[in-house]
Structures are given as C-alpha cells and as structure tokens.
Structure 1
C-alpha cells in the first residue's frame, strides 16, 4: 500500500476565509504519526468548499515512501490515527471523507547483475498484453534521453494520462526517490535505512475510486487494503500478467520470426548472427527464437547446431547491452507470484 487521495468536506466550507484555508493547510501538513513522521499533504481547495488531501501509508511508519507496507494491520492503524487527528480541528471533526484515488504497489527485486533497464523485454510483453486488453489505452516510457534507458513505464486505460480510470506504473524506486530528493545526505540516510532500495522494481497499480463518502468513524474502521487488494490483483492478472495472452504473444512472435527467417533465406547469403542482432530488440525471449527454429529447421542436428550458435549470440548481446533475453517467461512467473503473495491480510485481529 502506498498513497491515497481523499476529499474532505469542511464545515461551512463554502465560506472559508483565506486565514481558514491557510490554517487548514498548516494543520493537514503537520499531522504526525506516533513516531513523529508527517504523512499527510494538503493538495487543494475545491469549488464545493472541500479540500483535497494525500495520505502516505509508508511515511506514517518510516518517514519515507521507501518504507514497505506489507499488511492490512499497518493500513488500519494509519486510518484510525488520521481520523483521530481530524477531531482536533473544529472544521474537520465532523467532516465526511470521500476516496478519490488508491495506489497499491508490489515490489519485485532485480538480480544483482541487472538494472531496471535490463528488464525492458518484460515491460514490452506487459505492454503487448495491455494493448490487447485496453486498445483505447496507452503505453509510455520515461527515462534519460542520451542513454535511452528506461526509468518509468506507464500503462493507462486512456490516451490522456491525467484522465485515467486505472493505470499501472512500473518504476525504478531508487531513481524515483533520487529525483525527488534535493540533498545527497538524504539519499545516504535512505540507503542506510533501506539497504535493498537499489534492487527494487515497483509495480504500482492505481485506480480512481467512486463510492459513497465515509463518516469519520466509518473511515477510521475501514480496512482499505483488504477491500481493494483483490480487485487490484485481478486488474494486474487480467490486463498485464495474463499468461493466456502472453502465450498467444509468444506464438505470434514465433510466427513473425519464422516468416522473417524464410524471407532472409530466400534472399540468399543467410547469416544467423546478422539476422538475430538486427532484430534483437524485437525478440523478447530466447524461447520465442527456439520455438521458431523447431519449425523453421527440420533436420534435428542442424537445428541443434543453429540453436547453440544463436544462444551464444544472444548471450553476447545480453552481456554487451545488459538486457535480459533468457528465461523471460520464468521472470514473468516470478513477478506473478510476487503480486499474488506480496501482502498479508489478517482478518483475525481485533480492532486497534
């Protein structure tokens, strides 16, 4: 669990003075957890007199979004504390709370020998699935211009990112925090407190929420993670980690590769290394190439020899470009297992 965005109704909110607005902003921004961490951000004032607020569950516990929330016990405590805090402000103590956005992230750990950009074939396959499931959506990548390295991948159900109803963002959490941290000392503190930070790939699902508002008491007892986790996981497994569609994509890529090989062979001067390296960015997984060779080359010994040569070519390409091209399907399965098992939902504990 990461952040949520809510709308708070304000008592007599339509007639707020400038001083009251400034007071509300200061109050929200100063709400502290029992550990002394500020975890709320005042966002804006709305035309109906309500205000927008962002709540960070990780910052409640660890003063940073680098802290990993892993259970609904943690999120329930945050909701309770937040609602108790609202009682201390005369304009907020009887406010109604409307959920506007919920973000639920999962954390996958890279192998030490690879970086975030090394997983670009993973992002491409997820993009292919998303394109089939959400044809009116969009897949975008953000990174460094000169190095052409990915830092953030966004899949949205609408062409306009700001107007999304649901989206998935995959990002390098270390680089993400680095871009938001002004002082080098702060990053050193983060790395000392969260030693695994540089190895994290964050897979963050986000949804706009439309439901009836909560009273203060209702939200204080609302088990938000247990409520939304099942639907968020379903979204990920339906529109991204959908192995029925992934298998279909592998077959489609196999057929395209077979046709390419046939075309090149017909032209003469057939060279596996030239063909593979020229099309390496479109060969998401060695497995696709192996399947293509099983059909393209009928002679078993010739096929085995060709597969060995191509495997060596792809290994050299992978080492040179630091791009994963082997066992991509297995990595996708590992990520799926991570999403399935990442959070612990406890229904047995009593109210805090």
Structure 2
C-alpha cells in the first residue's frame, strides 16, 4: 500500500473565508502519526466549491510509519491503523468535525521486487519491453512511456497507461527504482543516510505500482474507518496485473510474435550479407530488437534447417550474449524466468505478516 486520494466532503451550508481555508489546509497538512511523521497532504488546488464543498487530500501510508516512502506496508493491519487514526484526528478537531463523508478517488499500490545484487534498474530494460508488448495487447492505441537519463540513455521509470495521454489515465502501471524515485523528490528533504541505515535493501527495490482512479460512492467517517481498503484493492490489483502483464497465454502470444519477427529479420540479413554475415555483427546491429535469448534461439531454429549449423549458431549466439551481458549489464539471457519471478513475487505479496514492522518502543503509548 502506498497512497490514496480522498475527497473530504463538508456539510451542506459550509462556506469558508480565505482565512478558514488557510487554517483547514494547515491543519490537514500538519496531521502527524503517533510516531511524529506527517502523512497527509492537501492538493495544491484541493479546496473545491460547487454542488458540494470538498477538500482533496492524499494519505501516505508509509509516511505514517517513517519519514518517507521507503517504509514498506506489508499487512492489512498497518493500513487499518492509519485509517482509524486519521478518522480520530478528523473527529477531534473543531473545524474538521464538519466533514460529513469521505470519497475514495484514487488508490496506488506498489509491489516490490528485489533486483539481483549486481544488477541495476536499467539492466532490466528487456523485461520492461516484454511487459509493454503484453500490455499493448489489451490497450493497442496507447504508448509505453519511459523517463530516461538523457546522457546515459538509461531508463529511470517506465509507465503503461490505458490512455494515450498518461496524465489522463484511469489505470496506470509504473515501474521504477525506489531509491532513484526518492532521490528525485525535490520537494522533500530526504535523509538518505538514515533511510539506507533503516532499509539497506532500498537500492535493489524495483516497484511495480498500480494506480487507478476509483469511482465509488461516498462513505461516512465511520464506514471509512472500518473499510477493508487494503484487502479489497490489493487483491483486485494483483488480478489486474496478472491479466494485463503476466497472463501465460498473453505472454505466449508475445513470444511467438517476436520469434516470427526475428526469424524474418535473421533470414533477410543472412540472405543479404551472405558470406559477410556474422552473429556478432547481427547481435550488435539488432540489439534493440532482441529482447530474450530464447526468442532468438527459436528464430534460429526457424531459419536454419541443418542441425549442426543450427547448433553452432546457437552456441555462438549464447557465447556472444554472455560477453555483452557481462560487459554492459543488459539482461538478455533469462528474461522469461525473470518475468515469471516478478509475477510470482506479486502473487505472494502481502500474504505474510512481518514479525517486527515497527519498533515496539516507538508505538508505546500510541492510541492504536
């Protein structure tokens, strides 16, 4: 669990002065957990007048337990504590007691995959490409967007959305390196040394985050307090991710299409280059089109009929890919197994209970 966006709907007849608006914003922005961490933010233009008066806020569940989003929410109970305490704070403040209902409008849930020790986020580019092809099977008219380090040409963040304009999404999947993501938050004062001491695995965290705009009816404060938010949406999001990115039949179609595509390219290059053709040059020329060693291996089987020639080509290709992967880091061998590993990690997420989520002395005397 990461962030939810809420409409706080005030009673009919409320009409705030500029000073009252400023006070309400200050109170909500200043809400702190019992651990002393700020976890609520009012959107910049978050006070809306119309048929109803509402204040739009974001609640960060990780920031309830730590000073930034490096804390990993892993249990349903952790979310319930945030919801209960948030409602308690609303009910205790005189100005906020006029809130009659809450409407959930967005829910973000990230799933965490720990990268291999010697790998960097952008080394997984071919995995992101395979997942993009799978996503585009459902949303053909959309484009996958990447934020790239311009000088080094390395992916920093990858986004898949259900609309051509990402900002207008109803459903969005974002994949990013969590440490880089925290480091880029210029509006937050991140104590990275303290964060890394507490969470040493942070540099290896790949986050697969599902964000959805939610269209559900408003609920009373009491209903929101008891609502099983994390249970409901974590299960739905797992199902959605599986359907859009990790379905076996869907990925099977992607692999078959890529095998066919590479078969045609390989056949044309061998025919055009004739004796000048080498697999080393081919791999270098078409590095952007080769997402997985196994895809290329199947393409070789399609193009080369003689068994010995085919086996020799496959051996040469694997040897060269091993050299390139060792030199550049870009994963080409084992892409399918990593895609499956990410899918398995998401499926198993939140099923266990961390034995020690927050230090006991930190919560001593808290009103949970």
Displacement of 1:2: 0.2
- SS of corresponding position for 2:156: strand
- SS of corresponding position for 2:10: coil
Task: Name the counterpart of 2:347.
Answer: 340
Task: Name the counterpart of 1:243.
Answer: 248
Instruction: From the superposition, tell whether residues 220 and 183 of structure 1 become closer, same or farther in structure 2 (CA, over 3 Å).
Output: closer
Displacement of 1:181: 5.2
- SS of corresponding position for 2:57: strand
Gaps of 5+ in 1: 347-351
- SS of corresponding position for 2:144: strand
Instruction: From the superposition, tell whether residues 104 and 182 of structure 1 become closer, same or farther in structure 2 (CA, over 3 Å).
Output: closer
- Per-residue CA deviation, residues 74-96 of structure 1 (Å, 9 max, x unaligned), is 11111011011100223322521
Whole-angstrom CA distance in 1 between matches of 2:16 and 2:188: 37
Residue 235 (structure 2) pairs with residue 230 (structure 1): yes
Instruction: From the superposition, tell whether residues 183 and 137 of structure 1 become closer, same or farther in structure 2 (CA, over 3 Å).
Output: closer
Task: Name the counterpart of 1:50.
Answer: 54
Task: Name the counterpart of 1:207.
Answer: 212
CA contact (8 A) 2:182 2:190 kept: no
1:313 corresponds, among 320, 326, 334, to 320
Displacement of 1:326: 0.6
Gaps of 5+ in 2: 354-367
Whole-angstrom CA distance in 2 between matches of 1:13 and 1:98: 19
Equivalence map 1:76-225=2 (5 Å): 76-95=80-99, 96-180=101-185, 186-225=191-230
CA contact (8 A) 1:171 1:203 kept: yes
Residue 21 (structure 2) pairs with residue 21 (structure 1): yes
Instruction: From the superposition, tell whether residues 23 and 91 of structure 1 become closer, same or farther in structure 2 (CA, over 3 Å).
Output: same
Residue 288 (structure 2) pairs with residue 286 (structure 1): no
Displacement of 1:194: 0.9
CA-based RMSD of the aligned residues comes to 1.7
- SS of corresponding position for 1:93: helix
Displacement of 1:217: 0.5
Displacement of 1:183: 8.7
Whole-angstrom CA distance in 1 between matches of 2:63 and 2:155: 26
- Per-residue CA deviation, residues 36-94 of structure 1 (Å, 9 max, x unaligned), is 11111111111232110100000111221100001111111110110111002233225
CA contact (8 A) 2:3 2:59 kept: yes
Question: Larger deviation: 32-41 or 291-300?
Answer: 291-300
- Per-residue CA deviation, residues 245-299 of structure 1 (Å, 9 max, x unaligned), is 2111111111122212221222222222111211112110000011112222222
Instruction: From the superposition, tell whether residues 13 and 62 of structure 1 become closer, same or farther in structure 2 (CA, over 3 Å).
Output: farther
Instruction: From the superposition, tell whether residues 157 and 9 of structure 1 become closer, same or farther in structure 2 (CA, over 3 Å).
Output: same
- SS of corresponding position for 1:258: helix
Displacement of 1:235: 1.3
1:63 corresponds, among 62, 67, 82, to 67
**Number of aligned positions between the proteins:** 347
CA contact (8 A) 1:10 1:91 kept: no
Shift >6 Å, 4+ stretches: 182-185
CA contact (8 A) 2:134 2:251 kept: yes
Displacement of 1:13: 6.4
Equivalence map 1:249-288=2 (5 Å): 249-267=254-272, 268-269=274-275, 270-288=277-295
Displacement of 1:240: 1.3
CA contact (8 A) 2:297 2:314 kept: yes
Displacement of 1:182: 7.2
Instruction: From the superposition, tell whether residues 184 and 4 of structure 1 become closer, same or farther in structure 2 (CA, over 3 Å).
Output: closer
Query: TM (normalized to structure 1)?
Result: 0.94
CA contact (8 A) 2:68 2:190 kept: no
Whole-angstrom CA distance in 1 between matches of 2:32 and 2:314: 60
